[in-house]
């Protein structure tokens, strides 16, 4: 089968997409594209080449109905630079192949992440693992950033002292903080990359990994624009409801109490708001109070 060339992806190859203060995402290589997805799907029933409109319809059908294996035929390889704490979230997505720079072999660079003042926020009171919406006052935010920077400089200076003494690099690195930048090559098929993007581009994801997801999304869109369009339509722009939430939605539409309270109610209302925001107009009213 001939190698598939996608002009938009070719134009993006080896171009650094800047992320955070010192990080980046680069599309190093890719294999396949929308054409490979439809070829893989049609081989199961011997279908030949179709029109662009038919290809688009097939890709939307496949993604909407969770026929994922054709998307695994498309492969993207990235070179990325990110803070270690971002990498430790990232690596939880185990359906990938990666090679990371090693502090056992290399002297680590003096590259540390510092947040911008608007990202220095209070701890959320409703979510134990997240920031609140409000940033600290500017003077306090700058003080926090200065504290981080001072500790980074001290840690790195001590690291270099150990290196200069001849201490093994694998030991000298152990006190370097989590906001040190690392680099790796990351290769993933499109199906699993879209799953990564669904989670890491979500508003609940930590800001520092969310911006990497957004950069990688540009690459995925360049490689397989029809697949990414279907992803936006059927996954990013969609809302799923549990059985209890479906019952609550049915009750809401008929003016009955939704029967949910507390966090389940909050989660349900957030989904309804997302659904309403995507509609030009809606007749959905606020839910009646939960039944006693």
E strand residue ranges, the chain: 17-19, 23-31, 75-83, 97-100, 121-123, 131-135, 181-189
77, 186 in Cβ contact below 8 A?
Answer: yes
Strands 75-83 and 17-19: unpaired
Question: What pLDDT, on a 0 to 100 scale, did the predictor assign at position 2?
Answer: 65
Tokens read off for 205:
């994801």
Displacement of CA 164 from its chain's centroid (Å): 39
Asked if residue 234 lies in contact with residue 18, where contact means CB atoms within 8 angstroms, the answer is no
Q: Supply the pLDDT for residue 278.
A: 64
Report which of 32, 43, 45, 42 is spatially closest to residue 73, judged by C-alpha positions. Answer: 32
- Going by C-alpha positions, the residue among 65, 99, 72, 98 that lies closest to residue 192 is 72
Mean pLDDT in consecutive groups of 10 residues from the start of the chain, 292 residues = 86 97 98 94 68 88 94 98 97 93 94 96 84 92 97 97 96 96 98 96 94 98 97 91 92 90 89 75 50 38
The pLDDT score that the predictor gives to residue 127 is 76
pTM of the model: 0.88
pLDDT for the residue 70: 95
Tokens (6 digits) for 153: 């400089």
- Name the catalytic one among 131, 198, 200, 210: 200
Q: What is the DSSP letter of 20?
A: T
Among candidates 203, 225, 200, 205, which has minimal Cα distance to 215?
200
Structural tokens at position 226? 């029809």
Q: CA torsion 168→174→176→182, rounded to 10°?
A: 80
Contacts of 198 (CB under 8 A, 6+ apart): 231, 235, 236
Backbone angles phi and psi of 141, in degrees to 5: -60, -45
- pLDDT value for 46: 57
Class of domain 7-104+180-236 as given by CATH: alpha beta
Residue for token pair 């979500």: 202
Place of tokens 């995925």: 220
200 is catalytic: yes
């Amino acid at each position: 089968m001939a190698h598939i060339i996608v002009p938009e992806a070719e134009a993006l190859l080896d171009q650094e997409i800047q992320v955070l203060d010192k990080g980046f995402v680069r599309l190093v290589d890719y294999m396949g594209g929308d054409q490979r997805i439809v070829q893989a799907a049609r081989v199961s029933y011997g279908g030949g080449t179709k029109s662009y409109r038919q290809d688009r319809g097939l890709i939307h059908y496949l993604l909407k109905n969770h026929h994922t294996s054709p998307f695994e035929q498309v492969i993207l390889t990235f070179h990325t630079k990110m803070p270690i704490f971002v990498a430790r979230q990232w690596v939880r997505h185990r359906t990938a192949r990666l090679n990371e720079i090693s502090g056992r072999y290399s002297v680590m660079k003096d590259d540390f992440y510092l947040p911008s003042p608007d990202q220095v926020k209070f701890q959320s009171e409703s979510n134990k693992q997240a920031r609140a919406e409000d940033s600290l006052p500017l003077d306090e935010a700058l003080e926090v950033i200065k504290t981080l920077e001072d500790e980074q400089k001290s840690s790195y200076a001590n690291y270099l002292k150990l290196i200069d003494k001849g201490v093994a690099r694998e030991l000298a690195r152990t006190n370097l903080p989590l906001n040190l930048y690392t680099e790796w090559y990351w290769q993933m098929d499109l199906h699993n990359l879209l799953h990564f993007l669904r989670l890491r581009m979500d508003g609940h994801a930590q800001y520092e990994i969310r911006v990497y997801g957004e950069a990688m999304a540009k690459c995925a869109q360049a490689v397989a624009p029809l697949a990414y369009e279907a992803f936006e339509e059927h996954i990013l722009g969609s809302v799923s409801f549990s059985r209890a939430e479906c019952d609550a939605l049915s009750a809401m539409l008929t003016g009955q109490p939704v029967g949910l309270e507390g966090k389940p109610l909050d989660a349900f209302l957030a989904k309804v708001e997302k659904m309403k925001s995507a509609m030009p107009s809606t007749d959905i009213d606020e839910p009646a109070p939960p039944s006693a």
